[in-house]
Amino acid sequence: MKLRKGFVSNSSSSSFVCDICGGIESGWDLSYSDVDMTECSKGHCFHYGCLSKKDKAIIEAGVKGDEDKEPDEDDDDDDGEEDIIPTELCPVCQLRVVSDNLVQKFLRMKSGKSLDQLGDDIRAEYKNSSQIDEAFKAFEEKVDKKK
Ligand SMILES: [Zn+2]
Ligand SMILES: [Zn+2]
């Protein structure tokens, strides 16, 4: 996800949030290549370093095969050098990587509850967010051991 705040006419502060690791890169007039990230046409963005070997290979092969074609119409201003990958190559679009956002949507549908109801469930069990963090840490350790 790319967040951009316009500032003065030719300079802007941008933040990129990696859809894989959740890391945030921000700076002035940042382009994806500055932080070794790429974006798909649906707006997912991620570090190259966060991709699996397989996903890197898929993207590299796909981008190469695509070079002859004209790039899609881009309403963005002057970032011509940023290549945006099509959704067919995007690991997030293709569910090869499942982002927190998708997990949340999936689990909410599975629970069949509204956000308010889930909030009530959470508040019934935990007093504050650090209690949840601690419980989650213990949970993750248990799950990792099972692998
Ligand atoms: Zn990342
Ligand atoms: Zn995508």
> Is residue 95 assigned to a domain?
no
Supply the pTM of this predicted model. 0.67
> Does residue 77 sit within a domain?
yes
Contact 65, 39 (CB under 8 A): no
Please give the distance, rounded to the nearest whole angstrom, from the Cα atom of residue 3 to the centre of ligand 1: 16
Question: Which ligand is nearest to the Cα of residue 19, counting in written order?
Answer: 1
Residue 107 resides in a domain:
no
Does 96 reside within a domain? no
Q: How far is the CA of 133 from the centre of ligand 2 (A)?
A: 29
Per-residue pLDDT tens digits for 71-110: 555 544 444 445 789 999 999 999 998 888 889 899 999 9
What single letter denotes the amino acid at residue 6? G
Q: Does residue 98 sit within a domain?
A: no
Q: Of the ligands numbered here, which is closest to the C-alpha atom of 95?
A: 2
CA of 130 to the centre of ligand 2 (A): 32
Q: How many domains does the chain have?
A: 2
Burial of 10 from C-beta contacts in 10 A (0-12 / 13-18 / 19+): exposed
Amino acid present at 65: G
Residue 46 lies in a domain: yes
Q: How much distance in Å is there from the Cα of 42 to the middle of ligand 2?
A: 5
Q: Which of 44, 7, 1, 5 is nearest to 24 (CA)?
A: 1
For 41, the domain range is: 2-89
Looking at this protein, which amino acid is placed at residue 66?
D
